[in-house]
Amino acid sequence: MTELQKTPLFDAHVALGGKMVPFAGFAMPVQYTNGALKEYTFVREGGAGLFDITHMGQVRVSGSGALDFLQYVTTNDVAKLAVGQVHYSALLNERGTFIDDITTYKISDSEYYLCINAANRHKDVAHLQAQAANFDVSVVDESDATTLLALQGAAAQAALQPLVDGDLEEIGYYKFAQVQVAGSAGIVSRTGYTGEDGFEIYIPNSIANDVWSKLLAAGAEPIGLAARDMLRTEMGYALYGHEISDSVTPVEAKLMWITKLDKGDFIGRAAAAARKAAGPQKRLIALKLTGRGIPREHYPVYVDGAASGEITSGMHSPMAGGVALAYVKPEHAESGALSVEIRGKQVAAERTTLPFVRSNVRRN
């Protein structure tokens, strides 16, 4: 059995009472002593939630061919990124299905930074390095040397500002700055996975515990994986292995908005275009229970009494009740009586729009 990796903050999590569980090859805190619900509430109600997301991967792409390379291997239009801007994107295979979803940071015309999913790190890096052979570009996996923190919630900016040498107010939504964080070079971006204002902070491992301690001293509270999943599900954000996978194209996942078919050729373009023309094989919907129960992953979804699909992510939202994302047959995406099978019983549901609760991200 492969030993779980530990982030530089492992001992800090244990000291805080973190319940450590296996996640994407790492030992990660699923919750702390107050429990996931209180952690979730702290973030939603104006606090500053501090997440260790060092399990995520970081890849630096540099060289004169960096733009052409990223245009070919990712779905979004990298040519439209300005220096200091981030966008959401994806890596597809030739079948047009997902290798991963990623974020792309433009550092300069010849240098970019990618954040990739933990479970896909080695697969992604191998794919990118294989494709790089055809371009004047360097692809370097910096994951093992990098700590990634997320600080999310209305109080995040006030907690972080004393630690950085730049004005955080000047970092707009999906923008970033290369700054000094606690005296060391880092990257701070106004991005996140919670639907709240906040930041993601890339720093060297050597200062991880110092920055973590200082943010806690500034009023931040540690947040585990369970609350993080609650927060992202309420927003309807996709998670690899749930809403997206190597069996799903951007057409089914409602991610054609990051798949720019008109930008030129890229891996998976032809397949995605063909699927768009033919129509999706299934469709992702958002639903809300109108009866009692908690919708969970893999629970069957029925339309007019007939099996139609299954839930990919579901939860009891303290603010919205039983909510879920689910794939159903295309003809059932917009009409027909919905129900979810919960413990052998059919519980009525209705289609709804996303997010399930109001987003508080800053839009400028």
In a domain, 100, yes or no: no
User: Are 230 and 339 found together in one domain?
Assistant: no
What predicted TM-score, i.e. pTM, was given to this entire model?
0.96
Does any domain span residue 312? Answer: yes
pLDDT band at residue 97, thresholds of 50, 70 and 90? very high
Burial category of 265 from C-beta neighbours within 10 Å (exposed 0-12, middle 13-18, buried 19 and up): exposed
Inside any domain, residue 46: yes
Query: At residue 1, does pLDDT exceed 90?
Result: no
Q: Are residues 202 and 309 in the same domain?
A: no
With 60 as the cut, is the pLDDT of residue 94 above it? yes
Range of the domain at 327: 282-364
231 & 148 share domain: yes
Same-domain status, 162 and 39: yes
Q: Are residues 44 and 158 in the same domain?
A: yes
The domain total for the chain is: 2
Is 218 domain-assigned? yes
Residue 84: inside a domain, yes or no? no
Q: What is the pLDDT of residue 303?
A: 98
pLDDT at 95: 98
| For range 249-263, the mean pLDDT | 98
pLDDT digits (tens, 9 = 90+) for 211-247: 999 999 999 999 999 999 999 999 999 999 999 999 9
Residue 107 lies in a domain: no
Name the pLDDT band for 128 (thresholds 50, 70, 90): very high
Q: Sorting pLDDT into bands at 50, 70 and 90, what band is 102?
A: very high
Task: Count Cα neighbours of 55 within 13 Å in the Cβ-side half-sphere.
Answer: 22
Q: What is d(CA 115, CA 63) in angstroms, rounded to the nearest whole number? A: 18
Assess whether 48 and 168 both reside in one domain: yes
- Token pair 């902070």 in the structure block, residue: 201
| Residue 363 confidence class, pLDDT cut points 50, 70, 90 | confident
Q: For a pLDDT cut of 70, what percent of the chain falls above it?
A: 100
Residues in Cβ contact with 285 at an 8 Å cutoff, skipping those fewer than 6 apart = 325, 326, 327, 328, 333, 351
Residues 288 and 192 in one domain: no
- Are 228 and 148 found together in one domain? yes
Question: Tokens at residue 162, please?
Answer: 């004393």
Instruction: Give, in degrees to the nearest 5, the angle at Cα 206 between 200 and 212.
Output: 45
Q: Which of 59, 194, 53 is nearest to 115 (CA)?
A: 59
Over range 139-167, report the average pLDDT: 98
CA distances for 289 relative to 145, 231, 294, 308, 361, angstroms? 44, 18, 8, 16, 26
Share the mean pLDDT of the chain.
Answer: 97
Residue 145: pLDDT above 70?
yes
Evaluate whether residue 113 is within a structural domain: no
* Distance in angstroms (rounded) separating the CA atoms of residues 228 and 348: 27
Task: Please determine, for residue 334, whether its predicted confidence score (pLDDT) is greater than 60.
Answer: yes
Based on the fold, state whether residues 224 and 291 are members of the same structural domain: no
Q: Is residue 59 pLDDT above 90, yes or no? A: yes
- Out of 201, 218, 235, a domain closes at 235
Q: Give the type of residue at 118.
A: A
CATH number at 300 reads 2.40.30.110
**Residues 30 and 177 occupy one common structural domain:** yes
Tell me: pLDDT of 264 over 90.
yes
Q: What is the pLDDT of residues 158-195, one digit of tens each?
A: 999 999 999 999 999 999 999 999 999 999 999 999 99
My answer on whether 288 and 359 are in the same domain is yes
Q: Which of 235, 254, 274 is the last residue of a domain?
A: 235
Q: Single out the residue in 235, 267, 290 at which a domain terminates.
A: 235
Q: What's residue 364's pLDDT?
A: 86
Which residue has tokens 């229970």?
289
pLDDT of res. 308:
98
Residue 329 lies in a domain: yes
pLDDT at residue 108, as a whole number: 98
pLDDT category at 2 given cuts 50, 70, 90 is confident
Do 181 and 302 lie in a common domain?
no
Share of the chain above pLDDT 90, in %: 99
Q: CB within 8 A of 119, min separation 6: which ones?
A: 24, 25, 240, 241
CATH number at 222 reads: 3.30.1360.120
